[in-house]
Homo-oligomer: A and B are copies of this chain.
Amino acid sequence: MNLDIYKNLNRGIESTYINLNPIQRGGVLTAEARKAALEFADGYSVCDFCFESRVDLVQNPPVRNLTADIAEFLNMDDVRFTAGCRHAKWAAMHMVTEPGETLVLDSLAHYTSYLAAEANQLKVVEVPHSGYPEFIIDPEGYAEKFEEVERNTGSLPAMALLTHVDYRYGNVADAAAVGKICKEYGVPFLLNTAYSSGIMPIDGKKLGVDFLCASGHKSWAASSPMGILATTFEWNQQVFDKSTIRGDWSGRGFTKKEVALFGCSPVFGVPVMTLMASFPSVVERVKHWDEEVENARYLATQLERIEGFHQMGVKPTEHTLVAFESLPLFEAAAKTKKRGYFLYHELKKRKIIGIQPGMSKSFKLNTFGLSRKQIEYVADAFIEIARKYKIPVEDET
């Protein structure tokens, strides 16, 4: 065992680098969160003054307040923290569905949505997207699939899941329309806001959401793993149902503990405290979402000046996560020694990181939280690389 490899650990990335990683932009900590991470780094740091045996009820630090404030912020009624958005999805499905039932979900859903269904022994039926180049989810697809499931199984699906913003194209789905259809059919509606709440304004009631899951480390400037499961008063008793198991010999019971959270969600340190420390900034930053989208659109326009570069998904983009196809880059890559890795290396030379190495036919990036100046720098870098590899670039209009 060579223990030296675990010494002096570092990311190998300087903090001055511009990181475009699509999953990372919304999870970059605020300065306040960085301080909190250090202060609460010890394992059970939030439990110093726990008198109520559940982390969401701790009053010092003010986790109980945070729970209520996040419910208000999302316009939902009740909130719990989970070890990541994936656990929130599993929990909602676990408490609301039965094995063998059907989940209808969009075909752009994250793998953790499928896996949560799988761990709950649910069948999945997908709502199609419109395919290349827009990949749009038509809300009407939910009504069609509900009826198809009812025809085939004799009952409506146990739950519908919509990915509010998908991780592939950054399309913003029409959640309100899906919410309306779910209400009409009486199908419980789970909205995955991993790429929306925390960076853009969300009103759960307006969207007709029964369960809303969110990702702290993706979009609330929190350390991983941090998830949020929000629900309504109609559902909170069922979803946050308490333990009824009893020791047959001891008679022990745990009636304050919540089953789907494995009793008490184990985020009682850095995850919840970074979420808390960042929360004031998060409340503020969602008000500036329009500016963020403007920045992303600016970058898309600049990159499309490069021949063969096309923004995929809905145009102009409605989100800061943007995907591009870039075939000329792929052709150029074939001629280089580093093959598909050359874009990664060319960008890194320019102190830009976060584009998946090996990608060049297409790639995606996220501009959230970058200044216009940084985005201009990124645009210039891409254009410079294109020119270096003899890919034509249109003049600015």
Task: Give the interface of A toward B (CB within 8 A).
Answer: 1, 3, 5-7, 9-13, 21, 23-24, 26-29, 32-45, 47-49, 51, 60-62, 65-66, 69, 72-73, 83-84, 86-87, 90, 94, 99, 107, 111-112, 114-119, 124-128, 216-218, 221-227, 243-245, 247-250, 252, 254, 257, 259-260, 262-263, 266-271, 273-274, 276-277, 279-280, 283, 353-354, 357-358
Contact = CB atoms under 8 A, between A and B. Distances in A.
B268 A126 contact: no
Contacts of A124: 245, 247-248
Contact of A39 (B1, B10, B126): B10
A42 B27 contact: yes
B7 A23 contact: no
A48 to B, nearest CB: 6
Contact of A277 (B9, B83, B84, B274): B9
Contact of A114 (B62, B247, B353): B247
A304 B41 CA distance: 34
A214 to B, nearest CB: 12
A255 to B, nearest CB: 11
Given A51-B358, A217-B43, A280-B7, A116 B1 contact: no
A7 B32 contact: yes
Contacts of A66: 6
Nearest to A85: B266
Nearest to A220: B43
Nearest to A267: B225
Nearest to A123: B248
A49 B66 CA distance: 33
B21 A48 contact: yes
11 contacts: A3-B279, A11-B45, A11-B61, A12-B60, A37-B38, A41-B274, A83-B87, A86-B263, A117-B245, A124-B248, A126-B249
A43 to B, nearest CB: 2
Nearest to A262: B86
